[in-house]
Amino acid sequence: MLTLSGGLDESMGGAHPFPDQTTWEFSEHDPFKAVYDTRRRSVYMMTQRFQKHPFLALFDGADTNASTAERLTSTTALQALFLMNDPFVHQQAQGFAGRLLSERADDAGRLNRAYELALGRPSRADEAAEAMAFLQRARASLQGAGISPDQLTAQTWQSFVRALFLTHEFIYVE
Amino acid sequence: MSNDGKRTAHVSPASAGFTRRAVIRSLAGGSLLMPGILSQLLADDSGQPSAELDPLAPRRPHFEPKAKRVIFLFSTGGVSHVDTFDYKPKLVAADGSTKGAGGPISLVQEPLLKPRWEFKPGGECGVMVSDLFPHIRERMDDICLIHSLTTDHLDHFEATLGIHTGSFSFARPSLGSWTSYGLGTLNQNLPSFVVIAPVLPYAGTQVFSNDFLPAYHQGTRVLPGKEPIPNVRRQSGPGDLQSLELGLAGAFNRNYLRRIGDNSELAARIKTFETAFKMQSEAPEVFDLSKETDETLKLYGFERGQADSFGWQCLVARRLVEHGVRFVEIIDSGSSNNWDAHEDLTTYEPLAKKIDQPVAGLLQDLKRLGMLDDTLVVWTTEFGRTPGRQTANGRGHHPAVFTSWLAGGGVKGGMVYGKSDEIGATVAQDKVHVHDFHATILHLLGLDHERLTYRHAGRDFRLTDVEGNVIQEIIA
């Protein structure tokens, strides 16, 4: 998602933003429990034995206490809720939709670009038809909700991109 | 979906005839999002157990259960047994004499310190409880005290991990996760295992972690406030926009399925989005107390709108189990400002006051709703405290013996099991190790702790490791 939205921070190396050592007053009663929000590649994520990063806890991250030979994959309602409602996903949808709008001038072009970037293939005719019908319905829904005309196209595409984020072909590697 | 399906053979499916076909039908029942794929999925009926398609489907336990659900109350910090539920008149008499365990971690001889509070008999059974818990004392006829619990570690982190996971060193799946794994859940529009913890205890989220069990069984932490369960609030603007998005994703998924052929995992995936969609409306409903009467709120000892109160936690716990959540844990305090009274036992007064009436109210409410019979209520802590003093008015950590209690769910009320010695320093009779405690809880749920296993890292794991004996005497 970060790659699609252009939000991925590709910088390399550097120190992790731990608090200054002179400020440490951690103890058993007040443990170090930071969660760092990061847009860098996951190799730079801090891992604590003490707790899983909330995102990794939600999506079957590896046990932080032992070497993990095999990773589980699960499909839970809370994962679906994350994809549907988490502000992170909505932000990335915004970024991705903005990119499509700036890179292509018309809906057909944007649709193909979305498929190329997100799924690595062109859209098929039936998908294009479904998508176009969706764009109309979403636009009508947003219009009905009183979204201003200058925001309409952007929000319609954000909505489409969110739907694309919910597809199995995007989420799962078969 | 998970590859854990292969590993779940130790838990029998809801019935021998509960086939993949039946499960797909139930998954698809009333479906808005997946018409059309049913026939394809049904075409390949390999007779796999339900768990493979739906790890949270209700499962038949190993034998007839006494309890169907659990409310697990955890008091953080190590609650002093001799000041609360374990009446030791000899300790009063021996105040100041140097013959008992004391000091910070019960390894040194320090003068004995008498309990700070008076004990009085409660209920018809007349079991003695200190003045810290006047409301819970009135419920003693429903409660079975265990005076002979013992744990393996004398520090908070490890002992807290131990009482939750049976493991004192490495993180392992929590009792609630094992319960969810063993029994599934009764309402998939809510998580199977919910933890109401405004602040985290020692060992943090590890106490309700699924660890190596699949993520279906993780404890979902609930915070009082606008969005108790993460991401249940719709973000997609106008009311029908999200439905449109899910509809489009559903259409793409169906086409995808046609292209790649039968993929039974897709049924579970599609189901998941439906569940999530429903959770958006059902979850806020559970946390909406507007339909509860003022009288009920009063029973739990809080005023309308006081979502930061322990009473709110208890009432929400009742509503969650009422709505089919299998295991609810309530944690009363975090890794500081808790029951860890090394220096000042008077800190117990506000801590006890905070939970006393809500816990008693919860028991009373469950009882009048007819739910106490099959709802197991557990109260526990990580260890006891030294009968000897640490400072002038404090006690150290004491893993050798401590008290916990069970109520409802097939447990005899008005009963005391096990004994500590006359000053509360060691187990005098019927020792109950943490593993025995866990084995008993699973037993009440109809689960054999020796058969509830999960293969991980090359061997089968259990909540109770290679130990654990069920306390038969307390079962009604």
Average pLDDT over residues B229-257: 86
Of the pLDDT bands very low, low, confident and very high (cuts 50, 70, 90), residue B51 is low
pLDDT of residue B105: 66
**pLDDT attached to residue B8:** 35
- Among A18, A52, A74, identify where a domain stops: A74
Which of the two residues, B100 and A16, has the higher pLDDT score?
Answer: A16
Nearest CA in chain A to B250: A167
DSSP-assigned letters across all residues of B323-351: TT-SEEEEE---SSSSS--SSBGGGHHHH
Nearest to A163 among B2, B209, B245 (CB): B245
CB contact under 8 A, A174 and B260: yes
Under the banding of pLDDT at 50, 70 and 90, the label for residue B281 is confident
Structural domain boundaries enclosing B89: 69-224+308-474
- Shared domain check, B123 and B266: no
Per-residue model confidence (pLDDT) at position B412: 98
Alpha helices by DSSP H, B342-462: 348-368, 434-444
Share of chain A above pLDDT 70, in %: 99
Band of residue B259 on the pLDDT scale cut at 50, 70, 90: confident
Is the per-residue pLDDT at B32 higher than 80?
no
Q: How confident is the model over B241-254, as a mean pLDDT?
A: 90
Work out the minimum CA distance from A12 to partner chain B, whole angstroms: 31
Residue B103's pLDDT is: 66
Instruction: Look at A76 and B272 and tell me if their CB atoms are within 8 Å.
Output: yes
Closest approach of A10 to chain B, Cα-based (Å): 28
- In angstroms, the CA B192 to CA B199 distance is 21
Q: What is the mean pLDDT of chain B?
A: 87
Do residue B335 and residue A31 have CB atoms under 8 angstroms apart? Answer: yes
Q: What pLDDT sits at residue B4? A: 38
Same domain, B16 and B157: no
Enclosing H/E stretch for B380: strand B375-380
Same domain, A59 and A111: no
**Contact residues, chain A, for B158 at CB < 8 Å:** none
The count of domains in chain A is 2
Note the pTM of the prediction, 2 decimals.
0.86
Among B36-45, B65-74, B359-368, which is the least confidently predicted range? B36-45
Tell me: do A64 and A120 sit in the same domain: no
Residue A141 lies in a domain: yes
Say if B295 falls within a structural domain.
no
A20 is a domain residue: no
- Determine the average pLDDT of the residues in A167-174: 84
List b or e across B371-409, with b for residues whose CB sees 16 or more CB atoms inside 10 angstroms: bbebbbbbbbbbbbbbbbbbbeebbbbbbbbbbbbbbbb
Query: Is the pLDDT confidence value at B10 over 60?
Result: no
Q: Output phi, psi for B450, to 5 deg.
A: -85, -20
Same-domain check for residues B149 and B98: yes
What CATH code is carried by the domain that includes residue B395?
3.40.720.10
Q: What is the pLDDT of residues B165-217, one digit of tens each?
A: 999 998 899 999 999 999 999 998 899 999 999 999 999 889 999 988 988 89
Q: What is the pLDDT of residue B15?
A: 37
Indicate yes or no: CB of B231 within 8 angstroms of CB of A85.
yes
- B275/A77 CB distance under 8 A: yes
- Of B335, B326, B379, the residue nearest B355 (C-alpha): B379
Do both B143 and B188 map to the same domain?
yes
Nearest to A163 among B218, B248, B340 (CB): B248
Tell me which residue range forms the domain holding A34: 28-74
Quick: pLDDT tens for B317-328.
999 999 999 999
Contact between chains at A127 and B214 (C-beta distance less than 8 A)? no
In this complex, which of B241, B256, B269 lies closest to A159 when CB atoms are compared? B241
Residues B114 and B34 in one domain: no
Inter-chain contact A144–B265, Cβ cutoff 8 Å?
no
pLDDT digits (tens, 9 = 90+) for A39-72: 999 888 888 887 888 888 888 888 777 777 777 7
